[in-house]
A and B are shown apart, each in its own frame.
Chain A
Amino acid sequence: MLRIIFLGITKSLGKRAFSDSLLELIVRLTLGVVFLFACYHKITDPARFAKVIYGYGLFPASAINLIAIIMPFVELYAGLALVLGIYPRAGAVAVNTMLLAFIISITINLIRGHEFDCGCFSFGGSVHISNMQLLVRDVILFLMGLDVLLFNQGRMWCIRQGR
């Protein structure tokens, strides 16, 4: 989707500045860095992250701590996979699965009017954006993940592409 939009714009401007591979690299690195950045505060303060998960009001009590322990490391490894280009498709699937879960959680809470702290990049909502903006941001990241996943040409800066 992003590729079509981007190439459409560059073609219409008459100057195709980036190759497909370069665009894939930019999208992949951006997505990877976003997830590496997002996991840091969750790894350093899992108790606070667990409380954020509780605040979503969607998860059973028995799952909250396990999610708080495991999810930041899935973000870490998925981010590394995308940035280093080691199994980038698996990284993209992991990232998009999490993004889909975020999108569903945010949508449910938007519909039922439930206040919550996103906990995405910090705790306590130091960066103030609305839940609708959160949703749009996650949808854009999801589309970026699809772009990486469905890319079927040679990737730049990719240590291990997978078969």
Chain B
Amino acid sequence: MFIKDIIKELAILLGLAVVTAFAVNALSPKGIALFGEWDTARGVITARPKDDVVARELEMGDFEAVKEIYDSGAAVFVDARSDEDYSRGHIAGAVSLPVSQAEALMDNFKMDYPAYQMIITYCSGRECEDSHILAQLLLDVGYTDVRVFVDGYPCWEKEGYPVEKSNAVPQ
């Protein structure tokens, strides 16, 4: 009887937890979808929250196509990672605009690059959404041609494409 009683109590506790969990998730602005997108083959992973920043239409999953744009010089590459990561190594010629400081640095960035400038953001690969957050911020301030290089710096470095390191972070 002892175990039967505990099972009953547990059923009440878990029932309350499940009902509350789905109710809060449905009502909260931070709620997430019942199923996320966790397959890196499809792009940057996301739990698909209501305020999701991952926009598939901005993603460039073909790193060779990204390299072609890089070689053409048509785009500015913008690094969304931290200052420390940028200093340790970044795509040669990329501009640092860490997500955590992006709003503060945006005015200077806007003075340097016009709104029609093609911008490609990147971070640490398909498990990192900072490139998407930065892309949204750039779109919000008026940039019209923003894309996300989903494989980011690890892929670029692995492919042997041009990289550089810096002690001082350019602003």
Check if B24 is an interface residue, CB within 8 A of chain A.
yes
Task: Give the number of chain A interface residues (Cβ < 8 Å).
Answer: 32
Q: Which of A1-9, A15-23, A60-68, A127-135 contacts B (4 or more CB under 8 A)?
A: A60-68
**Would you list which residues of chain B between 1 and 43 have a CB under 8 Å from chain A?**
1, 5-6, 9-10, 12-14, 16-18, 20-22, 24-25, 28, 30-36, 38-39
B35 with A87: CB separation less than 8 A:
no
- Smallest Cβ-Cβ distance to B38: which chain A residue: A61
Interface residues of B (CB under 8 A from A): 1, 5-6, 9-10, 12-14, 16-18, 20-22, 24-25, 28, 30-36, 38-39, 45-49, 52, 127
B22 with A69: CB separation less than 8 A:
yes
A69 with B38: CB separation less than 8 A:
no
Please judge, given known A-B contacts A46-B47, A73-B18, whether A64 and B36 are in contact too, CB under 8 Å.
yes
Q: How far is the CB of A73 from chain B (nearest CB, A)?
A: 4
A43 with B24: CB separation less than 8 A:
yes
B32 with A69: CB separation less than 8 A:
yes
Task: Note all chain A residues with C-beta closer than 8 A to B13.
Answer: 74, 77-78, 81, 87, 90-91, 94
Q: How far is the CB of B105 from chain A (nearest CB, A)?
A: 22
Q: Among B21, B24, B33, which residue has the most Cβ atoms of chain A within 10 A? A: B21
Q: Which 7 A-B pairs have the closest CB atoms?
A: A90-B9, A50-B47, A73-B21, A61-B38, A47-B49, A87-B9, A47-B47
Chain B interface mostly: mixed
A50 to B34 CA separation, bound complex (whole angstroms): 11
**Would you list which residues of chain A between 35 and 56 have a CB under 8 Å from chain B?**
43-47, 50-51, 54-55
B17 with A76: CB separation less than 8 A:
yes
Task: Note all chain A residues with C-beta closer than 8 A to B36.
Answer: 50, 54, 61, 64-65
Q: How far is the CB of B59 from chain A (nearest CB, A)?
A: 18
B9 with A47: CB separation less than 8 A:
no
A43 to B24 CA separation, bound complex (whole angstroms): 9
A94 with B14: CB separation less than 8 A:
yes
Check if A119 is an interface residue, CB within 8 A of chain B.
no
Check if A32 is an interface residue, CB within 8 A of chain B.
no
